[in-house]
Structure 1
Amino acid sequence: MKEALEKIRCVEESNQAAYHELEQEMNRYEQQKKIEIQNLEKSQKELRIKALNDLENSLIEEEERYRMFLLQQTKENNQRDETLYEEHKETLIQQIINEMRGNYGG
C-alpha cells in the first residue's frame, strides 16, 4: 500500500511538473503571438501611412499639372484675344468713327 501511495505521489508530481511546463510553454506561445500581432499591426500602419502619403503626393502632382495646364490655356487665350484685337482694332476704330459721324454729323 505504501508503495502504491509513493507511486501515486510520484505520478502526481510528474503531472504537476508537466502541467507547469505546459503552462509556461502556453505563456511563451501567447507572448510570441502578441509580439507577432504587434509587429503585424505596426507593419500595416506603416503601409497605410505610406499609401496615404503616396496618394497625397500623386494628388499634389496632378493638381500642379492641372494648374500648369490652366495657366497655359489662359496664356494662349490671352494671346489669341490680343491677336484678334490687333487684327480687328482698325476696323473697330473705323466703325466707331463712322457711327460718331453718323450720330453727331461730321
Structure 2
Amino acid sequence: MKEALERIRLAEEQNEQAQKQLLNEIDYYQQEKQNALQEQQTLNQQLRKELMVELESSLLEQERLLERQLQAEAQQVDAKNEEIYLQQKNEMVQKIIKEMRGAYGC
C-alpha cells in the first residue's frame, strides 16, 4: 500500500513537472510568436513608408509632366490667338483703308 501511494505521489510530481515544463514551452512559443509578429509589423510599416514615398514621387513627377504639357498647350493657344489677332487686325486695317478710299476717293 505504501508503495502504491509512493508511486502515486511520484506520478503526481512527474505530472506537475511535466505541466510546468509544458507551460514554460507554451510561454516560450508565445513569446517567439509575439516577437515574430512585432518584426512583421515593423517590416510592414517600413514597406508602407517606402511605398508612400514612391507613390508621392511618382505623383509629383506626373504633376510636373502635366504642368509642362499644360504650359506647352497654353503657349500653342497663345500663339494661335496672336496669329488670329494679327490676321483680323490686318483684315480690319485693309477694310478701313478700303472704306476710306471709297469715301474720300484716295
Q: Normalization by structure 2: what TM-score?
A: 0.79
Mean alpha-carbon deviation: is it higher for 2-11 or for 13-22? 2-11
Q: Where does residue 90 of structure 1 map in the other structure?
A: 90
Stretches of structure 2 that go unaligned for 5 or more consecutive residues are none
Which contiguous aligned blocks of 4+ residues in structure 1 show a shift greater than 6 angstroms?
none
Q: Size of the alignment, in residue pairs?
A: 103
Mean alpha-carbon deviation: is it higher for 77-86 or for 21-30? 77-86
Q: Where does residue 67 of structure 1 map in the other structure?
A: 67
Q: Normalization by structure 1: what TM-score?
A: 0.79
Deviations 1:56-105 (A, max 9, x none): 22111111100000111111222233334444533222224455x49xx5
Percent identity between matched residues is 33
Q: After superposition, where does 1:1-106 map in structure 2 within 5 Å? A: 1-98=1-98, 101=100, 106=104
Secondary structure of 2:83's counterpart equals helix
Q: Distance in 1 between matches of 2:83 and 2:70?
A: 20
- Structure with greater contact order relative to length (CA < 8 Å, sep ≥ 6): 2
Stretches of structure 1 that go unaligned for 5 or more consecutive residues are none
Q: CA RMSD in A?
A: 2.2
